[in-house]
Amino acid sequence: MNAPTPPSSLTPVGPRINSHRLWEHVCAMARIGATAKGGVNRQALTAEDTQGKTLLLQWASRRGYQTSIDPIGNLFIRRPGRNPGLSPVLTGSHLDSQPTGGRFDGVYGVLAGFEVLETLDDHGMETERPIELVVWMNEEGSRFPPPTMGSAVAAGALPLADALAIKDVSGIDVESALKAQVAELPVLEKRPLGMSGFAYIEAHIEQGPILENQACDVGIVTGIQGLHAYEIQLLGAEAHAGTTPLRHRKDALVAATTLIGYLRAAIDDPEDILRFTVGRLEVYPGSPNTVPGRVTFNIDLRHPDPDSLLRAGETILRLCAGEIEGCPVSAKVLLRSTPITFDDRVVATVRKAASGRAMKFLDIVSGATHDAKYTAQHIPTGMIFVPCEKGISHNEAENAREVDVAAGAQVLCDAMLAIMSEPL
């Protein structure tokens, strides 16, 4: 762990953010899509997601910021700089949530970024470069897999047409859901697809227990582990539950459970570093008295080491082929992203901003994925983590303390200003 160094004259200590206003914004956003257990359900391109974006855009228009949207629905809120010709310093995250999501995952980074814009306004600070706050579309990938869809398309890692064609379980595709959302949002300037900027820094809750366990104020994120997303399908034959002997069945669900057992055993990692999750499984036709004729399930696979991830992915594709208990199996690769390391100059700027505020911090690799994975392919990128209670996330009990929320936003503000004044 890095010991805090006293603020040095070299570390520009920027304006103080307004932690009360930031917390108010977090609470206001948490009321949109609020669930009975204290979380949120604001899945991508739902009415709740649209309400959240509309609220943010209302706050932005009150400040006179320029707003725009790209063809995959990523939102951009721009605070002009002295020199409009310079590429902007970017920050951002996502407003969409998991179905049983928390009040901080993604939304914290959007609101911390918005707080930086408002803080600069309050202090009458004109920056050399423009600043853009990005709200990436469908980071969670819960309704429309894969995750980080909006940033992947903007980065050119996922073709726009492929993304627009992806359907949710009720058969609605991204294109029609996005059209419906845009029709509801305030009028936005259209902007082309693309990912460019001078630097990008994203604030996010850690979604793990390390910072809290080590009583750190912030985490200096040095990279993100790799992620593969697969869709597996087994085809059986619908049959009558009462009249069809078991030995005559092609039961896609029994075959799927057998296959998942094989996969779990085949990728077993004694060090428990590999992450293997089957989070969604659809049974067709889904009737209690009809033998399932088709099962589709998703695999989320992660590892910080690229070779280990590739080996596990190859094992999955090898096993998800041919037939299982008479049911043909097919596999589709939805996403393959390798582990990434952030730009060490941006990481150093974030670290300096944290030490400039005499904060306790440590370097950390992100187990969760983030849109910063894709910005890092085109823009010098870094991230700031803040602790969350017991590391709980993707759960309605997700929680963070106001003091930590404020600390992360303060480091974000200082780091963004430092990057402007001490070019990379």
Does 368 bind ligand HGY (CB under 6 A)? Our answer is: yes
Does 105 count as an annotated binding residue?
yes
Does 305 count as an annotated binding residue?
no
> What token pair was written down for 61?
């228009």
Q: For residues 222 and 233, which CB has a smaller minimum distance to Mn ion in the complex?
A: 222
Q: Which does 147 bind (CB under 5 to 8 A by kind): ligand HGY, Mn ion, none?
A: ligand HGY
Q: For residues 214 and 395, which CB has a smaller minimum distance to ligand HGY in the complex?
A: 395
Closest contact distance (angstroms) between CB of 21 and ligand HGY is 26
Cα separation, 245 vs 268, in Å, equals: 34
SS3 160: helix
Strands 75-79 and 66-69: antiparallel
Q: For residues 218 and 255, which CB has a smaller minimum distance to Mn ion in the complex?
A: 218
Q: Which of 147, 197, 226, 387 binds ligand HGY (CB under 6 A)?
A: 147
Name the region of 376 (left: φ>0; alpha: ψ -120 to 50; beta: rest): alpha
Residues 6 or more apart whose CB falls under 8 angstroms from that of 136 comprise 74, 92, 93, 94, 148, 150, 151, 154, 371
Q: For residues 198 and 200, which CB has a smaller minimum distance to ligand HGY in the complex?
A: 200
Q: Which of 46, 151, 222, 369 binds ligand HGY (CB under 6 A)?
A: 369
Does 70 bind ligand HGY (CB under 6 A)? Our answer is: no
Q: For residues 206 and 251, which CB has a smaller minimum distance to ligand HGY in the complex?
A: 206
Q: Which residue has the tokens 């949002």?
A: 185
Residues 6 or more apart whose CB falls under 8 angstroms from that of 407 comprise 217, 218, 357, 359, 386
- 8 A C-beta contact, residue 181 and residue 71: no
Taking CB under 5 A as the criterion, which residues in 63-122 touch Mn ion? 105-106
Does 39 bind ligand HGY (CB under 6 A)? Our answer is: no
SS3 380: coil
Does 140 count as an annotated binding residue?
yes
DSSP character string of 348-377: HHHHHHHHHTT--EEEEEESS--THHHHTT
Q: Which does 212 bind (CB under 5 to 8 A by kind): Mn ion, ligand HGY, none?
A: none
Closest contact distance (angstroms) between CB of 188 and ligand HGY is 24
Residues near ligand HGY (CB under 6 A) are 105, 139-140, 147, 368-369
Per the annotation, binding residues for Zn(2+) are 94, 105, 140, 204, 394
Interface contacts to Mn ion, rule CB under 5 A = 105-106
